[in-house]
Amino acid sequence: MKLKQLFLIVLAAGISYAAMAQSFNNLPVNTQKPPLHGKHWMAITGKPLAATAGAIVFSKGGNAVDASCAMLAATCTMFDVLSWGGETQALIYNPKTKKVIAINALGVAPTGATADFFKSKGMGYPPQYGPLAAVTPGTPGGLMVMLAEYGTMSLKDVLAPAMQLAEGYPIEAQTANSFERSKETLKQWPYSKAVFLPHLGEKREAPVAGEIFVQKDLLATLQKLIDAEQQALKKGKSRKEAIYAAYDRFYKGDLAKEIARGTQEQGGLITEKDLANWKVITEEPLMVNYKGIDVYKMQQWTQGPVMLQALNMLENIDLKAMGFNSAKYIHTLYQVMNLTFADRDFYYGDPYFGPEEPIKGLLSKEYAKERVKAINWERNDTKAGPGDPYPFEGKTNPYKDYLKQWSQAASTTYTSPLSEDYLHQVFLGTTSVEAADKEGWVVSITPSGGWNPACIAGKTGIGLSQRMQSFVTDPKENPYNVVEPGKRPRVTLTPTLALKDGKPFLSFAVQGGDTQDQNLLQFFLNMVEFGMTVQEATEAPNVNSDQLWLSLGGEDRKPKYGNMLLHESTPPYVRKELQGMGYRLRFGDRTSGPINAIYFDWEHGSFWGGSSNHGEDYGIGW
């Protein structure tokens, strides 16, 4: 037998064996991208050039906070998925204190942003796009606070890669094409039109892939921040004080004046006072323990506690016995998400504004056991609604009447199909930044806002956030998240850190609006329950529920009961069983936003990096 024939037989046998293994176990047998490995540091984010920015800073001796700030600055400069005027949510593990710190750099609703204001304009929610969708910029402040408090380098050094990108970088097709698709919207705003559409009047008005995309105004803004820092250093100020001098220039100086002027010129509400009064908040994160692993999330102004609630519930269920992505496993995840997202939709909001959210009750193990009892194990429950966590805090629910109305609304099944561009929309916007170093610093960030189509604030080059749309105007929908000046909207953004035996175990995040904690929950279970590697877990098929109130979008935010997105490889017998349980199925070749993650291999003293096979996400390790 010829060697070539023997090779083909062995190869066919290997493929056949792999196919059988996948069929019997429903587990992924390989990955489309290799895992990353590193001993000294790891840098992962949503763009290859931005990951390179992190690597540059690491190579200059920076720590994981320095590198994550460089990656954040670079991704903001590259637009499409976020901009400088957006919001930043970060979890940082400090190896000196062995504590996890939360950075709340979400902007607030500006002066005049009330429920009555938006209702007077015929809006059920603040708009999706434009100056009226903007909360105050949070990302510049978040970056500078993280760098000043936990980094080691100057703002000048950390912003250097982003400034080179603003001078001009070869734009990638994904971003260039998004500008072209959105050009009619961008033309509404003069400063956006000037930046994003350099070929006005031509057939294609946006840049083409590979064209050098220049942002002169943004470069000037970043230079002003550096100038403020360097002037402070010349006056004898410390590294930290100098960075805060740049912070003050952005929020209280000439940059703030131009942001307010440019926003108001285009119909927005942000004032100089709104910018001056806003502050980054360093918080205690929320945490639950799942089978010996401490999982950390941001507070209830994000949707992060959804995953913590779900883990509390799933701890009472033998998931491994069900088998990965079996019909029973998928049904269990969907039902748990029904209940936890219903709690999110009704109870989550800004903890710095009243009324006080019942977060202690929501995260109690006893409440989770009670919620598990509500699961219908045979069919999808279209009436699943918020629970009542107040008794688990020893209190009485002040919104029982709203709860009854919420449940009555849920009893009417809403059955409109998902739009054709659902898959395109659901995983766009936002990115994630993951970084770790040999000194023990770990950073997980989910920055967002100012995505395309972005309204740029005057001559600053700063694309404004669109996060105001995540508020509600009717307290019956969520009494904790009604729009109000100075208040933060409840956002979908949700970085994650997990510790085991007191040491970092996983750092992970994803983009994708309401799907984020759905995808991150499954990523975590893939590793902890099913033994996948970090790269296998980022690529594994996910289940996505649409049975929740949308946090982003137009006027139609209602749940689509029983709608489920599954991977196209889902076996026919699983599909049939799920349909028999009352689900309406939709399929795709990508079933999560791009997940980025770092696994800490303490046995070998190394990092494993995982970067999803969906999108342009990229990592570098050393």
Examine the domain organization and report whether 273 and 397 are in the same domain: no
CB 621 within 8 A of CB 38: yes
Phi, psi of 287 (to 5 degrees): -150, 140
What's residue 10's pLDDT? Answer: 30
Q: How confident is the model at residue 404 (pLDDT cuts 50, 70, 90)?
A: confident
Q: What is the pLDDT of residues 232-267, one digit of tens each?
A: 999 999 999 999 999 999 999 999 999 999 999 999
Local confidence band at 354 (pLDDT 50, 70, 90 cut-offs): very high
pLDDT at 81: 85
Q: Distance between CA 545 and CA 583 in Å, rounded?
A: 10
Helix, strand or coil for residue 296? strand
Residues 296 and 270 in one domain: no
124 belongs to a structural domain? yes
User: Does any domain span residue 272?
Assistant: yes
Average pLDDT over residues 499-506: 98
Instruction: Decide if 36 is inside a domain.
Output: no
Do 510 and 395 share a structural domain? Answer: yes
Give dist(CA 346, CA 522) in Å, integer. 23
| Beta-carbon contacts of residue 188 (< 8 Å; ≥ 6 apart) | 130
Per-residue pLDDT band at 206 (split at 50, 70, 90): very high
Q: Which has the higher per-residue pLDDT, 8 or 358?
A: 358
String of b and e for 167-201 (b: at least 16 CB within 10 Å)? Answer: eebebbeebbbbbbebbebbeebebbbbbbbeeee
What letter represents residue 145's amino acid?
A: V
Write down the pLDDT at residue 105. 98
Domain count, the chain: 2
- The domain that holds 320 is classified in CATH as 3.60.20.40
The pLDDT of residue 75 is above 80: yes
- Whether pLDDT at 6 is above 70: no
Is residue 187 within 8 A of residue 197, CB to CB? The reply is: yes
Instruction: Give me 41's structure tokens.
Output: 């540091």
Same domain, 275 and 313: no
Q: What is the pLDDT of residue 27?
A: 55
Same domain, 455 and 508: no
Residues recorded for the chain:
622
In a domain, 25, yes or no: no
> In the prediction, which pLDDT does 406 show?
81
State residue 616's pLDDT score: 87
Residue 31 lies in a domain: no
DSSP 568-603: TT--HHHHHHHHHTT-EEEEES--SPPEEEEEEETT
Are both 101 and 241 inside the same structural domain?
Answer: yes
Q: What percent of the chain has pLDDT over 70?
A: 92
* 157, part of any domain: yes
How high does pLDDT run on average in the chain?
92
Q: What is the pLDDT of residue 29?
A: 56
What is the residue range of 298's domain? 286-427+492-621
User: DSSP E strands: which ranges in 396-510?
Assistant: 433-437, 442-445, 496-500, 503-510
Token match 């710095």: residue? 352
Give yes or no: residues 511 and 584 share one domain: yes
Domain-located, residue 2: no
Q: Is the distance from CB of 440 to CB of 457 less than 8 angstroms? A: no
The model's pLDDT over 551-564, given as tens digits with 9 standing for 90+, comes to: 998 888 999 999 99
**Which residue reads 């509390």 in tokens?**
312
Rounded Cα–Cα distance for residues 190 and 445 (Å): 31
Closest to 605 (Cα-Cα) out of 22, 160, 24, 39: 39
pLDDT for position 16: 33
Q: What is the mean pLDDT of residues 424-446?
A: 84
Residue 38 lies in a domain: no
Is pLDDT above 80 for 506? yes
Torsion of CA 297, 302, 308, 314, to 10 degrees: -140
- Give 592-614 pLDDT, tens digit per residue: 989 999 999 999 999 999 998 88
Q: What percent of the chain has pLDDT over 90?
A: 87
Based on the domain organization, do 69 and 177 belong to the same domain? Answer: yes
470, 502, 522: which is the final residue of a domain?
470
Q: Are residues 321 and 226 in the same domain?
A: no
Q: Name every residue whose Cβ is closer than 8 Å to that of residue 417 and which is 6 or more positions away in sequence.
A: 560, 563, 584
**Among the listed residues 39, 139, 54, the one whose alpha carbon sits nearest the alpha carbon of residue 618:** 54
Q: Picking from 121-125, 189-193, 405-409, 433-437, which range would have the lowest pLDDT averaged per residue?
A: 405-409
**Domain end call among 435, 470, 505:** 470
238 and 362 in a single domain? The answer is no
Strands in 39-114 per DSSP E: 41-45, 88-94, 99-105
Residues 97-138 have pLDDT tens digits of 999 999 999 999 999 999 999 999 999 999 999 999 999 999
| Confidence category of residue 30, pLDDT binned at 50, 70, 90 | confident
Statement to judge: residues 255 and 329 lie in one domain: no
The pLDDT tens digits of the residues spanning 439-463 come to 999 999 999 999 999 999 999 999 9
Encoding tokens for residue 294?
């401490």
Q: Report long-range pairs for 205-212 (Cβ below 8 Å, ≥24 apart).
A: 205/180, 206/176, 206/177, 206/179, 206/180, 207/171, 207/176, 207/179, 208/176, 209/171, 209/172, 209/173, 209/176, 209/177, 210/170, 210/171, 211/170, 211/171, 211/176, 212/168, 212/169, 212/170, 212/171
Q: Last residue of a domain, which of 470, 502, 537?
A: 470
- Whether 77 and 162 map to the same domain: the answer is yes
Q: What is the pLDDT of residue 614?
A: 83
SS3 39: coil
pLDDT at res. 615: 80
Residue with tokens 């070998």: 604
Q: Does residue 267 contact residue 131 with C-beta atoms inside 8 Å?
A: yes
> In terms of C-beta distances under 8 Å and separation of at least 24 residues, what long-range contacts does 476-479 make, across chains too?
476/402, 476/405, 476/406, 477/345, 477/346, 477/406, 477/549, 478/345, 478/346, 478/347, 478/348, 478/349, 479/346, 479/355, 479/399, 479/402
Give the relative orientation of helices 305-314 and 327-347 as an angle to the nearest 10 degrees.
Answer: 140
